[in-house]
Structure 1
Amino acid sequence: MSGKNSSENGETEENTVPDGGWGWMVALGCYVMVVTLPGMSLSFSILFSTFLLDLGVSSTTTAWIFNSHLLLWNLVGPLTGPLTMEFGFRRVSMICAAAASVCLILCSFATSAEFLLVVFGIGGLFGGLGCKPCYLMIAHYFKRRRGLATAIMMAGMCTGQFVGPPLIRLLQETYGFRGATLIIGSIMLHSMAGAALFQPVQWHIKKTATSKELGKQETLKDKQEDASLINTPVSNPQPPLPLRNKRLRQVSESSASLHLSTVDISGYPTICEEPDVCGSETSQDSSKTNGGLILITRVLRSTINDLTILKSPPALIIALGGLLSQNGYLNFMLLMPFAIQAHGYTLQDAAWCVSVSGICNLVARLSTTTLSDCSWFNMQLVYVFGACIFGSASIVFTFVTDIKWMMVIAGVWGFGVGVNISLFTLVMARIVGVENLAALLGASSLLVAVGFITIGPFIGFIRDVSDSYDVAIWFLVGEVLLFVILWLCMPAAIRYERKKEEEKGEHSSDIQNP
């Protein structure tokens, strides 16, 4: 975020993001948030597998519970921007983090799968709304050091995936299902402490004075005035709604440089800036009296506008590919603990397999995002190669029976997931451009949500009909194969898009010069 204000002495005040300072506390808050909130999703099977197996719940019902949670987690992506604009990042994150924790605490009193379906699903809605503002906070506070701050945040997710399963098993062995779930829900309440660090960036904006005339020498008095400007608190931390729309749009469009994961994160808000698309300033002012209706209308218009980007073949391939890859690896994570227990091993063994995959996932994310800045790094090729790795590991997993080899394969699988997911946003920006990034992220988030509620339960149905976890995993491998086939068509789609743009440009020239 930056801006300039003219002063009477011919100088301009330039606002710059903190790029440090309190920003590191914000990065710490984001780390705490992603350690705790996504843990309820990534540790679902470890938390509830024993409970569901004791109830004799079918795999179809289990898949419905898990995928309904993921559906709502991704579906709230377009709501993140409008809500944070209206109520602020800290308030939205703290309230939703508390609500998500309460939902998990209520799950400890579950006596049926239907209760879990409702309460755990609602927990996904609040978890998504609580966690997604983290990505925007990093973009608000950092520019030059944005990659480092994002790496800190992303490390939190893999930390939760590594620490969570063994901790859950230890608590379950000590306190049983209900006691362990109560404690994990209470631990999730610590995410509120992380959200409490989300101070408005306007409180920490740096102001520096620059001369309009090149070569002009600043006097000692000018420097003292500049220093006083930097230390002066901003009196109006919340800008008017039209300015907030514009600034948030600028942050969303500049987020291409972020090395992000989209497991949890496919939720950048897409807020329109042009009056003819999102409504005039008068209509925005009227939101003071009709806030709810105006907010819903704005979100719907933004969502519809984002979906039009899927008319572009490259954008459609990226969105469908994200649906297939995320559905494939997250549902494998759902099935893996059940499959391990079906081979006669304990839930503790399954928890260690999940933890090993989390460690390898972290290594892959950090190394891949670091190498992605190198000129020789072929981002698209490595992105597809990551999917090939976790797809191959998935099918090999179905042919081994020794727990040691299962852990090794889980590690390889986690590494492939880390490589693929860490490049999703970067590949998206490389192909469609920064100016279309926000729209494609919103459209992709909706497609991923639809995939979870349609394909996800069908995987559970396949498991019930075949009475085999291996067959269900083979179906997931088929999704990864379809992902690879789609990306093999990407060069042709890009050529088609370029040819279409060239023809459109020639047609415009003919009209202007008959």
Structure 2
Amino acid sequence: MYIMEDETLQAAPEINVCHGSTSSPAGGDACTTNESGVGGGSSAPGGQQAAGRCFEQDGEEECAMHYSVKSRAPDGGWGWMVALGTFIFSTLVHSVPYCFGILFSGFLLENGASSTTTAWIYNLFLVLWHFSLLLANPLCQEFGMRTVGFTCVSVSSLSIILSGFAPSVYFLYFSFSLLGGLTVGMSVSIAFSVLPPYFDKNTGKANTLLVAGGPMAQVIFAPLLRYLLDLYGLQGAALIHGAIILNGLVAVSLFHPVRWHLKPWSHEAPQTQHGTLQTLMPRDKASSPAPSVTPRSTQASGASQPAPRNRSVQRLRGSLSGSLSSMASGGSEVSAGLAFLADEGEESTPGDKARGKNVLCRTLLRVGERIRTDVGVLRQCRCVILAVTITLTQTTFLNFIMMLPFVAKAAHHSLEDAARCIALLGVTNLVTRLVVSPLSDCSMFSIRLSVMLGYLLRASGIAVAVLSSELWQLMAAGVVFGLGLGFSLSMFNLAIVHYMGLDNLRPTIGIVGLAGAVGFPTLGPLIGLIRDLTSSYSVSLCVLVALDLLSVALWFLMPAAQARDARRALHVRTSREATCL
């Protein structure tokens, strides 16, 4: 298995790559090293011969785990099917939170539910949604990404159907808040983490399909569910909505592990800035410690090995075998995205998967340990800035959407006028995402400036709403805020990959979710309390402006955070090398 020398993981002894043996800092080398300090099995002719024997005996799947093979992201091909799957998947799962009011408002009013009860049902959903982001990565590592995805889609559909047949208002705490919150959150994490490893040069174009899913859910499902309610009532609409969500099973089936589709590097192929999987790390982490590889001892040459478990892996044997000519010359060539190459459930240690009466306890312990490891990414200042700013801006986004009808009413406008403002906001958000995300593939594009511009536009839009008295001014506020949403939210996962690297994508998404699970129930009621104390929506909106401006200030500090994390990583690496010597 791969041992990554990241500061978020346990320190591992330096191990030379050689065929069937290892070296230990405590004792003598178990294999002969060449002049470059690399094990004999890694030299150009000898390494290829040893790797060739590995392919003949073990098969490409096992051999890929023994050797560091320079491979590159598919950057197309099946990756476009994955991008299409993320669009369908994201559109369907986002229909659950965005259509809560349309689908269940009549039921809640008929049963005399108070505004507090309604708010608690929805906010508990949001808290569990964000908390489940922390659970997604450990569960995907334990059971496999597609297994978790299939389960989430099925339970999300069941959540809507059960909510449609709810015997009382309080049943929605279980059917919608608990079941829906946990599964929708993990679904969002899977959608945002499955796509980046597939692309290099066309990351922004592929990301366009992913980020368009949320706004499309608003555009499609809001009028559709309203029509179904008028035609079939709540139970019929819930049944149809749940059946539509089940189409997400088809989308999840497209989420192949990226290791099935890796392309080998030939000696003639030019290695660009994003050539190998190693360079999928952001540029600011180029000086971070290189990962090491622990080779597993190969069996005797006469021992028979089982065929690869998956037909897709068998079909890829020929294409991946060509990558042996580009065998890495040392641990520094190991891909920085290797966490995505062995994160499926079938790659877990066989001994840990042994059946028995304590299998549930062992599984829970492994998941808990992985959660603890993921939380360790908080030691990096970049992760703290990402988590805090995303939580602050998500709070301003949701509260502005919630308060906009009340602001319109206070300015003597109708609810239809407020609905038009929100519709303009959504359309502007969608169009901006479709334009900005492909631009991120340009060399001159700056993710940091895009995010900061988005936060500034959002703050400007809220400020316009504070000062507006005419309807056109309120509509202009919605347009400006929608522009800000498009510039900032379209860069969500791209910013995480750029600043944290592929290996930290899922853990960072989990930390963002954890921050949201803490921040939403704290900041949301605080803004409501300010409104009650001041009896003014303008003051509450000014607080939202201040939160967005605070996020801009924190992003000004991102280069300093990068420098601090680089110094800390260098210090950790130097300490480990001194210990090994």
**Candidates 68, 80, 83, aligned match of 2:139:** 83
Distance in 2, Cα, partners of 1:371 & 1:164: 28
- Pair 46,142 (structure 1): closer, same or farther in 2 beyond 3 Å: same
Query: AA paired with 2:426?
Result: G
SS of 2:546's partner is helix
* Farther-moved stretch of structure 1 (44-53 vs 115-124): 44-53
The aligned residue for residue 277 of structure 1 is none
1:324 deviates by: 0.8
Normalising by structure 2, we get a TM-score of 0.65
Where does the alignment leave 5 or more consecutive residues of structure 1 unmatched? 212-232, 240-246, 255-268, 274-279
Alignment of 1:1-16 (within 5 A): 6-7=51-52
CA contact (8 A) 1:61 1:457 kept: no
CA contact (8 A) 1:252 1:438 kept: no
The aligned residue for residue 187 of structure 1 is 244
Where does the alignment leave 5 or more consecutive residues of structure 2 unmatched? 1-47, 61-68, 268-306, 314-333
CA contact (8 A) 1:270 1:438 kept: no
- Pair 333,486 (structure 1): closer, same or farther in 2 beyond 3 Å: same
The aligned residue for residue 190 of structure 2 is 133
Query: AA paired with 2:310?
Result: N
**1:107 maps to 2:163:** yes
- Pair 94,42 (structure 1): closer, same or farther in 2 beyond 3 Å: same
| CA distances 1:407-456 after superposition (whole Å, capped 9, x unpaired) | 33222212201211222333344444555444433322211222123323
- Greater Cα radius of gyration, structure 1 or 2: 2
| CA distances 1:24-48 after superposition (whole Å, capped 9, x unpaired) | 4443332221111112223334444
Distance in 1, Cα, partners of 2:206 & 2:244: 24
**Candidates 420, 428, 435, aligned match of 1:367:** 435
Distance in 2, Cα, partners of 1:57 & 1:309: 42
SS of 2:442's partner is coil
Distance in 1, Cα, partners of 2:506 & 2:528: 33
**Candidates 148, 162, 166, aligned match of 2:219:** 162
**1:312 maps to 2:399:** no
SS of 2:524's partner is helix
Alignment of 1:61-80 (within 5 A): 61-80=117-136
**1:120 maps to 2:120:** no
The aligned residue for residue 447 of structure 1 is 515
1:65 deviates by: 2.6
**1:31 maps to 2:87:** yes
- Pair 314,144 (structure 1): closer, same or farther in 2 beyond 3 Å: closer
Count of aligned pairs between the two proteins:
462
- Pair 309,403 (structure 1): closer, same or farther in 2 beyond 3 Å: same
Answer 1 or 2: which has greater helix percent.
1
| CA distances 1:373-395 after superposition (whole Å, capped 9, x unpaired) | 33433332331221121122123
| CA distances 1:286-307 after superposition (whole Å, capped 9, x unpaired) | 4776443233222222222232
The aligned residue for residue 421 of structure 1 is 489
The aligned residue for residue 479 of structure 1 is 547
**1:250 maps to 2:250:** no
Distance in 2, Cα, partners of 1:308 & 1:420: 26
Alignment of 1:263-282 (within 5 A): 281=349
The aligned residue for residue 285 of structure 2 is none
The aligned residue for residue 377 of structure 1 is 445
| CA distances 1:431-485 after superposition (whole Å, capped 9, x unpaired) | 4455544443332221122212332344445455656555444433332233233
Distance in 2, Cα, partners of 1:16 & 1:506: 29
**1:296 maps to 2:386:** no
Give the % identical residues: 35
1:159 deviates by: 1.4
Query: AA paired with 1:127?
Result: V
CA contact (8 A) 1:59 1:464 kept: no
1:207 deviates by: 8.4
SS of 2:337's partner is helix
| CA distances 1:128-160 after superposition (whole Å, capped 9, x unpaired) | 233432334435655665543332232222211
1:328 deviates by: 1.8
Distance in 1, Cα, partners of 2:376 & 2:492: 20
Distance in 2, Cα, partners of 1:142 & 1:489: 28
- Pair 355,18 (structure 1): closer, same or farther in 2 beyond 3 Å: same
Alignment of 1:491-506 (within 5 A): 491-494=559-562, 496-497=564-565
RMSD of aligned Cα (Å): 4.6
